[in-house]
A and B are shown apart, each in its own frame.
Chain A
Amino acid sequence: MNAREEILGRVRAALEGAPPPPVVEPRSVVEPRAVVEQGAQRPISRDHSATDLVDLFAERVADYTATVHRCTADEVEAVLTELLGDRTTVVPPGFDRAVPHPVEDTGLTPTELDGIDAVVTMATLGIAETGTIVLTHGPGQGRRALSLVPDLHVCVVREDQVVPGVPDAVTALDPTRPQTWISGPSATSDIELDRVEGVHGPRTLRVVLVAGDA
């Protein structure tokens, strides 16, 4: 018997006489969502004002020492110029803002990418409660290697892309796309539980949070 048939056979034999699988009831998501912040209760309602949500997102991203730069749509290019400075910056196809020293992605090898200082991308959404940005690697976001190898990642997120929590994000995302959920820069606590930032991924994460119609 091949391994597949044998394993499936063992599974069926193991479950003989087992009770039927439980019906999983949909969870009632707590509403309004109370967020405890340093001892004080700060209620974040599911039908909260958009400002609350964006503020919370900015706060939570900053908690991970990933700097947040808030600006209007008109100011994005100025902020990018300031953040990227003299660095060479890989720009994914579909990213429609000007950056100071752009490098086009022409199928760069990992080693070539390693020679580039920074990467700039857009995002698919941001999660307020966890301070997470999610990339699905479509236009403006680039293939996964781009936002991985360079040491500085600048990510442009629009305020209207921020969702309240993980359930909202899971609902909104397309599982057939590759996804990268990023919550702060690379970090490790493997040495005496001392948090050290930047082991392998980008050591610095800067989030540009754009208000209004971007």
Chain B
Amino acid sequence: MPPFPEAARIALANTQLRTNLAHATATIRDKRARVVAEVDDWEELRTAGAATKDRVLLDLDTHLVRLEESLIRAGATVHWARDAEEACRIVADVAKAHHVDEVVKVKSMATQEIGLNEALAQEGISAWETDLAELIVQLGDDLPSHILVPAIHRNRAEIREIFLAGMARAGRPAPEGLDDEPAHLAEAARLHLREKFLRAEVAVSGANFAVAETGTLVVVESEGNGRMCLTLPQVLVSVVGIEKVVPTWADLDVFLQLLPRSSTGERMNPFTSTWTGVTPGDGPQEVHVVLLDNGRTRALADEVGRQALRCIRCSACLNVCPVYERTGGHAYGSVYPGPIGAILNPLLRGVGVDDQVDSLPYASSLCGACYDVCPVKIDIPSVLVDLRAQVVDAHRGGVPRPEAVAMKAAAATFRRPGLLRAAERLTRPGLAVVRRVGASAWTGARDLPPAPKESFRAWWKRTDGGRS
């Protein structure tokens, strides 16, 4: 992926994308604001959510060990995965042990993060996405562009084309004479996927929450595809980031209020499923849970950034972000786009290694809207600023960037009064030269301020500090 500024420039030229995004984000923003206003103790809920997550993160080893014990007691098999490759191998091994060449999947950010579908394909196993938007993305050989509504960048006509071209390749073809009515498109997806649900033997999911005390996993969703995957197949593998743990069942009270209202702008999402290991005679009889690190312990070690691990993936920050609204998710080059992606990716992957990742902390106007809506009070602007400093630090030594040269020169000038006086005299002619030469790397994204008529020192001397 190209760094954000390049990717954003391409996205900005796509007027269809901008129209789709502006409509979608404005709609979800309004819905969210309405249902949040119904809750009198919303601020208390946010504080409680943040505190509960902090309590988990600052004592994570204890909670993970407890979760493991509860899961095993409830009949689940627990696996630990250091990175994406290890997690994918565990899932593939479970599928192979059951001699299947396909699995059905519940929409899950963790499995996208680890590139599970591609890894399973390498092993000859087809992973079928069953969320409508994920199906659109998968059949269109596309990438998701939003955490909640991954196909937000597509309109109905494009979706019809994707279904007509892609469904036959993957199973039951699109119905003849399919038009672009959303209800008809959804019906086509229902028929196409039902065939897969009914025959599936192995399902893969993530989890929104994992309760340490009881070993209960929770998946929230809207369509019912989650229930299909979690209930019909005999084998279920859930890939769960180690930050998803909450201490007790009672803690869910807060999160089940915060998540749907922040995410889809509903009082409650249509379906929430909870399960605790294996229930004899009901649902999967073999339950695996993969506890995934993949950079989370790196993020945990970052004193400022560790709060990003509180994230419950609601996507409220995307919908209020002026940068996301104009560029869409693909420009962020990751399954986690928007403000949260701009901090989560550098935290999970580290800075100073990849130019694309290093560009993300700058993909923000620092307006703070993301902090205001975050249901678990992640101070995204502060983390962005801290990460910018880390990116600069990571590039010390070697050839300095033009901005670093300018800052260094400025620092030296400010330290020496004589030099500063000289510099001030040169400001007007200097700016004129810069305008003429066109320092486009800077002025392409920012306005060059007009030069003051006189310097501060000259003004002080003339007016005796404003006294005359």
Which positions in A face B, CB cutoff 8 Å? 2-4, 6-8, 10-15, 18-25, 27-30, 33-36, 60, 64, 110-111, 114, 127, 129-132, 137, 143-145, 148-149, 165-167, 170-171, 173, 175-194, 196, 198-202
> A3 to B133, Cβ gap below 8 A?
no
Answer yes or no: B189 CB below 8 A from chain A CBs: yes
**Beyond A30-B44, A129-B267, A189-B149, 11 additional pairs, beta carbon < 8 A:** A14-B300, A19-B58, A22-B54, A144-B283, A176-B276, A178-B274, A188-B222, A190-B136, A192-B23, A200-B130, A200-B225
Contacting B275 at CB < 8 Å: which of A11, A14, A178, A199? Answer: A178
Q: How far is the CA of A19 from the CA of B198 in the complex (A)?
A: 50
Contacting A7 at CB < 8 Å: which of B44, B185, B249, B297? Answer: B297
Contact of A180 with B272 at beta-carbon distance under 8 Å, contacts A28-B44, A110-B197 already known:
yes
The DSSP consensus for interface residues of chain A is: loop
> A184 to B190, Cβ gap below 8 A?
no
Chain A, residue nearest B247 (CB): A24
Answer yes or no: B223 CB below 8 A from chain A CBs: yes
Q: Mark B270-305, 1 if CB is under 8 A from A, else 0.
A: 111111100101110000000101000110110100
Answer yes or no: B88 CB below 8 A from chain A CBs: no
Measured between beta carbons, the chain A residues less than 8 angstroms from B143 are none
Answer yes or no: B370 CB below 8 A from chain A CBs: no
Q: Most chain-B CB neighbours within 10 Å: which of A143, A166, A182?
A: A166
The tally of CB-CB contacts under 8 A between chains A and B is: 243
Measured between beta carbons, the chain B residues less than 8 angstroms from A177 are 276, 279
Contacting A24 at CB < 8 Å: which of B55, B242, B276, B291? Answer: B55
- What are 26 residue pairs bridging A and B, where the CB atoms are less than 8 Å apart in the complex? A6-B82, A10-B293, A14-B301, A27-B48, A30-B41, A30-B44, A35-B38, A110-B197, A148-B232, A167-B257, A170-B252, A170-B253, A176-B276, A177-B276, A178-B282, A181-B271, A185-B270, A186-B270, A189-B264, A190-B151, A192-B23, A196-B183, A200-B130, A200-B228, A201-B270, A201-B271
B153 CB to closest chain A CB (Å) equals 11
Q: How far is the CA of A194 from the CA of B380 in the complex (A)?
A: 30
> A187 to B270, Cβ gap below 8 A?
yes
- Those of B207-221 within 8 Å (CB) of chain A: 211, 213-214, 216
Q: Give 10 closest A-B pairs by Cβ, nearest first.
A: A201-B224, A14-B301, A200-B224, A10-B297, A181-B272, A130-B268, A143-B282, A190-B133, A186-B224, A3-B80
> A24 to B48, Cβ gap below 8 A?
yes
Answer yes or no: B27 CB below 8 A from chain A CBs: yes
A143 CB to closest chain B CB (Å) equals 4
Q: Mark B258-269, 1 if CB is under 8 A from A, else 0.
A: 000000101111
Contact of A8 with B64 at beta-carbon distance under 8 Å, contacts A178-B276, A188-B223 already known:
yes
Measured between beta carbons, the chain B residues less than 8 angstroms from A182 are 270-271
> A181 to B268, Cβ gap below 8 A?
yes
Q: How far is the CA of A46 from the CA of B67 in the complex (A)?
A: 34
Measured between beta carbons, the chain A residues less than 8 angstroms from B283 are 143-145, 178
Measured between beta carbons, the chain B residues less than 8 angstroms from A131 are 267-268
> A130 to B267, Cβ gap below 8 A?
yes
Q: How far is the CA of A29 from the CA of B80 in the complex (A)?
A: 38
Measured between beta carbons, the chain A residues less than 8 angstroms from B281 are 143
> A110 to B198, Cβ gap below 8 A?
yes
Answer yes or no: B52 CB below 8 A from chain A CBs: yes
Answer yes or no: B231 CB below 8 A from chain A CBs: yes
> A193 to B24, Cβ gap below 8 A?
yes
Q: Most chain-B CB neighbours within 10 Å: which of A30, A167, A188?
A: A188
> A196 to B80, Cβ gap below 8 A?
no
Chain A, residue nearest B134 (CB): A190
Answer yes or no: B314 CB below 8 A from chain A CBs: no
B180 CB to closest chain A CB (Å) equals 9
Measured between beta carbons, the chain A residues less than 8 angstroms from B155 are 192
> B45 to A27, Cβ gap below 8 A?
yes
Measured between beta carbons, the chain A residues less than 8 angstroms from B274 are 175, 178-179, 181
Measured between beta carbons, the chain A residues less than 8 angstroms from B256 are 166, 170
Contact of A200 with B37 at beta-carbon distance under 8 Å, contacts A7-B291, A181-B268 already known:
no
> A199 to B225, Cβ gap below 8 A?
yes
> A194 to B182, Cβ gap below 8 A?
yes
A110 CB to closest chain B CB (Å) equals 5
> A178 to B279, Cβ gap below 8 A?
yes
Q: How far is the CA of A114 from the CA of B266 in the complex (A)?
A: 29
A129 CB to closest chain B CB (Å) equals 7
> A191 to B227, Cβ gap below 8 A?
no
Measured between beta carbons, the chain B residues less than 8 angstroms from A28 are 41, 44
Contacting B197 at CB < 8 Å: which of A6, A20, A183, A200? Answer: A200
Answer yes or no: B28 CB below 8 A from chain A CBs: yes
Q: How far is the CA of A129 from the CA of B232 in the complex (A)?
A: 31
B392 CB to closest chain A CB (Å) equals 23
A165 CB to closest chain B CB (Å) equals 8
